[in-house]
Amino acid sequence: MNESGVLSTEAAPGGRTGAERTATWMVGERLSCVLHMGDSSLAYLLADQGHEVVIAGDDVTGVRHPEIQYVKSQGERLPFISDVFDVVIAPELRDAPVALAEYARVLMPGGLLSTVTRTYDSSIPWMRKLREIVGDWSPAHTPADTFTASGLFEEPETNEFGTWEELDLAGLLRFAEQTKHPSVGDDAMARVHELFTSYGAQTGTLRLRHQTHCLRARVVKENLAREEAPPDATLIELG
């Protein structure tokens, strides 16, 4: 089990799970230096696969994986030197010019900007109940023209993967927290705990099905304007 609470995922033909195929597609077949914006199980999986992973974001508060470097950043400016990452993964890709330019700046020539969104099978009874408790704040799919409108990225490639995951209690609570509507308070987590007791008591897990929608595009470095010095970063040390 990784820190996301995902116990296992079903393997597809070829022996790899949907999550593993997603991770490989988003970064390519070779080991890479990856900047992952925000904390998620995808970053943990990439680290477990041997990639050098840095997690950055204004919500970074602690270390959840021993092989990942955590950097607390603020705003759209990234606290990294230029041309340092092979891949940037932005699960919630912002199309603001500054954000896109920052992703392009920190990428090496030929590097990839990748994004991923997920849709979940709401026909599963426990999932319907979960949405009654925490609402739904699933991000919309990133339009393909978000990459090309800035002139900083080539035409994007797209792919989709479907998979089942098994969540233990910790995984369910984390999933609920990540996808709950902003208007829902933290007290809803107690009801999520009760939901797990009702639906997962016998097996100790709940099965979650999702469809993962991926886009990736290579950077066009020659179209990048001259950059200023990056802002300072706060490195979250291992405890």
Indicate whether 2 belongs to any domain. Answer: no
Q: Structural domain of residue 86, as residue ranges?
A: 16-236
Element (H, E) at 99: helix 97-106
| pLDDT top residue among 65 and 108 | 108
Classify residue 200: in a domain, yes or no: yes
Higher pLDDT, 5 or 95: 95
Contacts 24+ apart (CB under 8 A), 8-15: 8/165, 8/166, 9/163, 9/164, 9/165, 9/166, 10/163, 10/164, 12/163
Q: What is the mean pLDDT of residues 173-189?
A: 87
Q: Is 8 a domain residue?
A: no
> To which residue do tokens 């050098």 refer?
52
pTM equals 0.75
Residue 26: enclosing H or E segment and its boundaries? helix 18-27
- Is residue 170 helix, strand or coil? helix
Beta carbons of 146 and 95 less than 8 angstroms apart: yes
Contact 16, 23 (CB under 8 A): no
On whether residue 208 sits in a domain, the answer given is yes
Whether 3 is in a domain gets the answer no
Q: How many domains does the chain have?
A: 1
Residue 136 half-sphere exposure toward CB, CA atoms < 13 A: 14
Residue 38's domain is classified under what CATH number? Answer: 3.40.50.150
pLDDT bracket for residue 162 (50, 70, 90):
confident
Residue 9 lies in a domain: no
Across 1-10, 67-76, 108-117, 154-163, which has the greatest mean pLDDT?
108-117
Residue 5 lies in a domain: no
Task: Specify the higher pLDDT residue, 239 or 215.
Answer: 215
Helix (H) or strand (E) holding 217: strand 206-218
Residue 6 lies in a domain: no
DSSP state of 34: E
Q: Residue 165: phi, psi to the nearest 5? A: -130, 155
The percent of residues in the chain predicted with pLDDT above 70, rounded, is: 83
Asked whether residue 20 carries a pLDDT value surpassing 90, the answer given is: no
Amino acid (1-letter code) at residue 187: D
